[in-house]
Each structure stands twice: as structure tokens, then as C-alpha cells.
Structure 1
Amino acid sequence: MKNTACNLPDSVIKLDVIPGSVAWRAQYPLPEAYREIVAKQIKIWLDEGVIVRSASHTRFNHPLLVVKKKDADGNYSMDKPRVVCDVRKLNSILVVDDKQQLPLISTIHQSIGTKTIHTCLDIHACFTSFALEPSQAHRVSFTCPFTNVQYTHVKAAYGIRHVGSVVVRALQSLLSDLNTSPSTSSPFPTNGCYSAVCYVDDVILSSNGSLEDHFELVAE
């Protein structure tokens, strides 16, 4: 939603950089065939409050890229291309050291292997639901290659190196009370029937109960 962002503790993305450093790269030309794709994505970002028109000149600018997106079969395709900022130069001057270990796929398989019903939820626009520190948001700016208008992210952009750590930590905290064990408090029976694990922006809910109970878990 336009004027909302994740409100969990420590969910604001900070962009501390090496003092005095900047990250500015000119936008390189994109094929005319990408004009509509870029225009559509910028409109979505504006409508959802992910970006705003830059208020004034900033010494930070990152080129836009149009890249392939992985489909349901794990193959990269241009059927639904993704528009992203090339923030590699920003990453090179960030001093934020925020690391959150992702669970191993094999560990996830082990944790859900005894369950019989599974639901995988792909959180819509998960990364761009996390706000940037307002005083530092100008550090994620880009210029539309077709209009020469500059925009600034007020919510996170894909590719910033520590955003994944912030997202995973927030989701793990959010889902912690859905994982049942005799030593934790949960809205569900503490008999190991339920589990909730996340991998980046995918949430996997697994259970051993009835289908109706599983629906309740998903609703929760």
C-alpha cells in the first residue's frame, strides 16, 4: 500500500556509507522496446509509494536495468521482465555489516519432511515493503532513460546487499510463534504438528493435521 511499510522492529533499511563517498553512474541507453516495460514499472512504484520524484539534485544515481525473471519452473525468462536499479556502486561504499544466515535448503527439507500438507507463500513485493531510512533514501536514486526524470526510492530496492538480511530476520521473528515445540507458546497445539519457515521472501507452512487445520494455519 502506498503510505505503509513494514512496521516490525528494526525493519527500516539503513544506508550508512564511507564518509564523503558518493555513488553516481549515468543511465546508459536502453532499447526502445523496453520503454513500455520501464514506464509501467515506474507507475507501479509511484502508485505503491516505493519511489517519489527526486526533490532536488542528488549526487547518487544508479542505472536502471531490465532483466530476466525466474519462472515457476526455475528458468529465467523475459516473459515477465523485472526492472531493477544497478546498485553495485552503492554496495561498494556501504559500511553496513548486517548478516543474517539463510537456512540451508537441506535443513528446510528436514524440518518439513515429516509433514504431510504444505503451502508455499510468495510474499508480494516483499523487499519493496521495507522503508529506507528517510535521511538516507536519496542514496537510491535513478533517472528514467526515456524521460530523463530522476526518482528516489523511499522503500527498498532489489540488490542492496543487506536488505535480504533485514527481510529474513523480520520474517523469522514474525513467524516464530507458529513453530511448535513444548518450550514455546503457540496458538496451535504444541505437538510438533506445525512449522513455518522462510527462505528470503518465500514462507513455507507445513502441518500434519487435517486440511481444515492447515487452512487455519495459513489464515493465521
Structure 2
Amino acid sequence: MPARTWLAALPAAALLVALGATTAHAGTVPTGPTALRSAPLSTCTVTSTLAGDHYTPLQIAQTAKANGFTGNGLVISVAVSLAESSGWTRAVLVDSDCSRDRGLWQINSYWHSEVSDAQAFDPNGAAQAAYRISSSGGNWTPWTTYTSGAYQAYMATAQQAVNQLNGGGGGGTGCGALSPWSASNVYTGGAAVSYNGHRWTAKWWTQGDVPGANSQNVWTDNGSC
């Protein structure tokens, strides 16, 4: 849906970057029965506003964990939030179809109208909604910064925040929570493994591709764990 793509945010992004600011991005797209609804017919100028409290990656991780996220889903929840809102609790992106993406996880007002503004702008409420929409952290395809791959730029920061939250602090102490990479296993996009003391995240389906040593560049190096 063109009005709901990450690229739709670029005019606002370009403006705010010129002003030295970061932007909120595209938010959630419809899935399941909701996707059968007609898109809004309104037309608006795309604008992005950053407001509220500016959460650090650790604060986002704390909020996400307190509301159910665990394991790799917790790490991705932090990365997606950073990609979507830069950590601003009242970030708003007005889309070209006049729907609004709101809060830390930029939950769309039209496709997820069951989430009120009050909930979307409350960090705990937003985390609860994100947990539900993401199927308990197992499906991030409703977020355009996930499907575009934009979230990957934040995975290392997200992992460090989760390590700190769990008392690991990085530096090679957090690999025990990850499954070691195996040449025989099949991995899909977003899967995380440990290999040679680093955390690696798969960009897409892969089997037998050694992290950091394959020509297809399947794996993202998230740094030491």
C-alpha cells in the first residue's frame, strides 16, 4: 500500500534531517482481517513530530521486557522502536492518507484503531499493543521499518541495551542466551545466533551460510555478546 510504505515518510525525513533532527517513521501496516478494509481516501502532507519523553535504548528495553517481550523478540522490539520513533514517547507521523503513526512503536491510528491515543502515547500501553500486534514478539512484518530492513541499523544498540538490562553488559557475556550457529539449521529473517563470540542476525532465509564469511552477506554482525 503506497500510502503506508516507509518511503512515504521521506519528504518529512528530509526536512527534519536538514534541521538536524531525527524523524518518526512509518509505523504499522494492516495484517489479517484488518487488511481487507479499504484504505483511507483522504490526502495529507506527510509531517513528523517528535515529542514527549526521549527514552534511551535501555529504557525502551525495560519497558518492552516489563510488558512481555523476551529473547530475540525483546531485542527486535527495541530496534524497531528506535527505527520508528527514535525513542520519543509522543512521536507522531501524519501519513499521506491522513492516518497517524503514534508513540514509541508508531502504531497506526487507522489500521489499529483499537489502540487509543492515550494507549499509544503511554510507553507501557504502547508496549502492550506492540506485543499483541507482533504476536508476542514473533512477527514484526506489520512494521515497515522491519520489512524494509531499516531496523537492522539499530540491532547492535538494542542488543547492548538488552545485555545491560539482563546484567550482561556485553563484552562476551551474553552469548549463552543465544543458540550457537549450526550449518544444518534453517534460519529465517530476524533469527539470532551466536558465532565466534558475536551475535548475528539473519537478514533472510539461509542454511549453511557461515556468519561473516559468505559472499551473499546473509548475516548482520550485531557485535560481541
Provide the TM-score with structure 1 as the length reference. Answer: 0.23
Q: Which has the higher contact order (CA 8 A, sep 6+)?
A: 1
Provide the TM-score with structure 2 as the length reference. Answer: 0.23
Which protein is richer in strand relative to its size?
A: 1
Greater radius of gyration (CA): 1
Which protein is richer in helix relative to its size?
A: 2
